Amino acid sequence: MLFFRSEELIREWCRARAVEPRPIVRMDQLWQLAVTWYGARLEPVSRRPAANEMREIFARLGLHDAFWDPQADTFQ
Amino acid sequence: MGFDTAVKLTIYTFTAESGRIPSIQAVAQRVQTSTDEVAQAYARLRASRLLFLEPDGTTIRMAPPFSGVPTQHRVVVDGIEYFANCAWDALGIPAALHRPGTVRSRCEQSHEPLNLSVGLTGPEPSTWLFHCLVPAAKWWDDLVFT
């Protein structure tokens, strides 16, 4: 899970490793993921989102691709 | 509060205060129990995917979003430097601490430095991007690679 300066640099990085580019996430989307995952992490009740919750979280941010499905078998 | 929750909170409080993930001895001292008891709690927290342990079962490699080892993703909050496990976790540290901070990392292809100010409501406007090679269903298959 890495930062990149541009889409072109992501494509270059993927080409150099002979891998397909994956869905790209903007900083504002990443912040929402960070808050959802970790906003309560220092509190007693915190826990990692369950699979169905993860799907809802990603969908709310427009991340609908099977890549984001925690139970997808597409990438087996 | 249950024992595992007390262990978890001790780990996170220690890390938030110091920037470093505590040793099992330090955790045991704070919760006033043995390291064996704490190791058993670690195993249960690992099963819940709240911790990632080194093979010895007693050293914490990741207490997400915090890293137990130095990484390229550094976050400074209130003068304390933290290491994040990845780009996602780099934003996760100010989110977890509910404090503004600065994320210092780099573009993985060009190595251009990233210095991103993060406020209480999110990062400053930025055209930087996040890319993850590993699909969500595989993240915990090899968390270090992910």
pLDDT at A39 over 80: yes
Instruction: Dump pLDDT digits (tens) for B93-119.
Output: 999 999 999 999 999 999 999 999 999
B138 within some domain:
no
Structural domain boundaries, residue B96: 74-123
Range with the lowest mean pLDDT among A42-51, B33-42, B43-52? A42-51
Quick one: pLDDT at residue A76?
41
B141 within some domain:
no
How close does chain B come to A34, measured CA to CA in Å? 4
**Confidence check on the interface: ipTM exceeds 0.90, yes or no:** no
Contact yes or no for B48 and A12 at CB 8 A: no
B69 within some domain:
no
Q: Domain count for chain B, please give it.
A: 2
Q: Residue B29, SS3?
A: helix
Contact yes or no for A25 and B131 at CB 8 A: yes
B35 within some domain:
yes
Angstrom CA distances, B13 to B50, B97, B135, stand at 15, 10, 31
Q: Which helix (H) or strand (E) holds B102?
A: strand B101-106
Angstrom CA distances, B99 to A13, A26, B118, stand at 33, 21, 9
A49 DSSP assignment: P
B132 within some domain:
no
Shared domain check, B57 and B15: yes
